[in-house]
Structure 1
Amino acid sequence: MATAPPLRDVQCFAHVARHLGFSRAAAELGMSQPAVSQAVARLERQLGVALFERSSRAVRLTPAGAGLLPYADTLLETAAAFTAEAARLAAPPRSSIQLAYAPLVGALAARAARRLAGREPAIDVELRPLGWRAATEALARGEVPAALLSAPFPLGCTTGARFHVAVAHLAVPAGDPLAALPRVTPALLGRHKVLMPRVRPPGGMWARLAGTLRGAYQHQEVADDIDDYAALLDLVAAGIGLLPAPRLLATSIRRPDVRYVPFDAGDLRLTFGLAWPAGRVPAEVTTLVHAVQETLWTR
């Protein structure tokens, strides 16, 4: 045999072998039955072997046909992989962008990433969960073009797609008497410690809450910034302190050792937004801002 048989003929052979019939093979291939029969006959002539035993009632593989079928399947799979890889190499490279984000708003970051991955042309988003300080430093060093983080926003940055997250619950240990109350006010927390960050910028939610809890109240400062609220639930469960809980946390993370009690301490809310270095706005950042805004509008 001087040349390899055409793939189309091999494909017809494999389909007839799978169905043991020319009519069903032809229907699956979108060909006429005579065309499939001719392709198989042509392949048999080129190979010099009979692939099927034909009768008026049935079609059966010959021993040669049964022996060659696995090779035919491998050949067709390799050809399909070859075509797919060629198409991948021929396609223009996908754009990508890195986005740092606060863990609390990870669900929003993920939805924005899916939105960009599904558009045409697609944009891949590399998500990097970072705390406020780490995200700010990554922006300053140029490691990420944008970050989805909470106020106060870094100096020298422009912000967009701002939104608020209400802090309307208090996370308490499941066995604490506060867990049985319909709601909690600051007046009930005199003998409890409240988990807080050491850094509380003026005008921010934590500064307002600290002002409300002046006097006999105790603060348990746990870090410079509070970003990973989910991790702090371990401290709540251990009885180390109570945690003012954003609504996102209360609705997304349920634990048997923690209860979320409505917290009536005034208008407490965290402000989030997309921040990027001031100056010329790269096209990828503009696209990211639009994706976050669209995600907020449709959530």
Structure 2
Amino acid sequence: MELRQLEYFVAVAEEAGFTKAAARLHVAQPGVSAQIRQLERELGEPLFDRSARAVRLTAVGEAVLPYARAALAAVSGMRLVTDELTGLLRGRVVMGGVSTPSVLDLPGMLASFHDRFPAVEIALVENDPDSLLDGITTGRLDLGLLGLGAPLPPGVAVQVVVDQKLVAVVHPDHELAGAGSVTVAELAGRRLVSLPVGTGLRAALEDACARAGFAPQVAYEASEPYVLGQLAARGLGLAVLPESAVAGAASQLRVLEVAEPALRGRMGVVWRADGPMSPAARAFIEHARRHLPDLGKPGAAAASAG
């Protein structure tokens, strides 16, 4: 029995599929299948039910999974202790994120970390907010960058890195184009353009509308803030977006202040507050927190969201 087999087994169990597990492990799918079959031959029992479209653990697989995770954690712990004692910083860190606003110099942060720790491999993955938080809590991701709206899971720490005003933008021919401002109540019944459900901006919009007694009528969604402005510039609705995202289509839009109440969009870096952490991950988190300051409240400390 090899550690690689256990790693592949845990990955297939967590991803509920061989193809997704292979992508996560950056190996070919046939290699994953072959290693799992070898592990099953050694144990004498099937670990996965492959009869349905989705791969599911068998009863034996369910029983074996905690031991496989414990074995991998023990090996990881041995490496952590060794690296701590030798002072060697190497390994791999994984950062998950959603769309990044222009006010954050994420490439600069990554480049400066690489310059300081060239032996550490950095991987970036794009996630929806739920998957990102799941990756943080399970340890598959070392650091995440996401919009803040709904409460964070227990054991997750956060540092706000963006706190900026949200504005409304419309086509110059829109009936509100000359108003200069719009109240949240005036958004009722209007075709809106917004980021998807689960983002911090969408959560702020839905919360404000709920307090005003209605649900927003979102006609179009886009995961990139600048696309929201482009949709509004085409006359497809009133877009609510961060103030920093207006510049891309400013000449084609009319910008309105949002009042009663004013809205703000917040983003934060998040990481697991407890559990084992490699020296590389610890250094990466500390570097990101220094390089990506709280732009809304300078000097604010990170807080646990548990």
Write the deviation string for residues 207-262 of structure 1: whole angstroms up to 9, x where unpaired. Answer: 432224435x7512656xx74323333432343332221123225x3354334322
Of the structure 1 ranges 134-143 and 169-178, higher mean CA displacement relative to structure 2 is found in 134-143
Taking the TM superposition and a 5 Å limit, the aligned residue runs for 1:1-299 are 95-105=91-101, 107-120=104-117, 123-139=120-136, 142-151=139-148, 152=150, 154-190=152-188, 192-196=190-194, 197-198=196-197, 204-215=203-214, 218-220=216-218, 222=220, 227-251=223-247, 253-254=248-249, 256-277=251-272, 278-297=274-293
CA contact (8 A) 2:163 2:294 kept: no
Question: What is the aligned-residue identity percentage?
Answer: 15
Number of equivalences: 203
| Conserved 8 A contact 1:104-1:229 | no
1:138, distance to aligned residue in structure 2 (A): 4.0
Q: Determine the C-alpha separation between the residues in 1 that align with 2:114 and 2:199.
A: 37
The offset of 1:170, in angstroms, is 0.7
1:237–1:112: structure 2 CA closer, same or farther, 3 Å change rule? same
What is the CA–CA distance in structure 2 between the aligned matches of 1:96 and 1:206, rounded to whole Å?
Answer: 37
Contact in 2 for aligned 1:100/1:148 (Cα 8 Å): yes
- Could you state the TM-score of these two structures normalised by the residue count of structure 2? 0.53
Q: Which entry has the higher C-alpha Rg, 1 or 2?
A: 1
SS in 1 for 2:271: strand
Using the alignment, how far apart are the partners of 1:129 and 1:171 within structure 2? 27
- The code of the aligned residue for 1:206 comes to L
Contact 1:104-1:249 at 8 Å conserved across structures: no
Task: Indicate if the aligned counterparts of 1:165 and 1:246 stay in contact, CA closer than 8 A.
Answer: no
- Alpha-carbon displacement from aligned partner over 1:168-213 (angstroms, at most 9, x marks no partner): 3112123324233333323544552233555699xx5234322244
Which residue identity is paired with 1:132?
P
TM-aligned CA distance change 1:280 to 1:259, over 3 Å: farther
Identify the residue that residue 62 of structure 1 maps to in structure 2.
Answer: none
| TM-score for both structures, normalised by structure 1 | 0.54
Q: Contact (CA 8 Å) 2:233, 2:249: kept in 1 or not? A: no
Residue ranges of structure 1 left out of the alignment (5+ in a row): 1-91
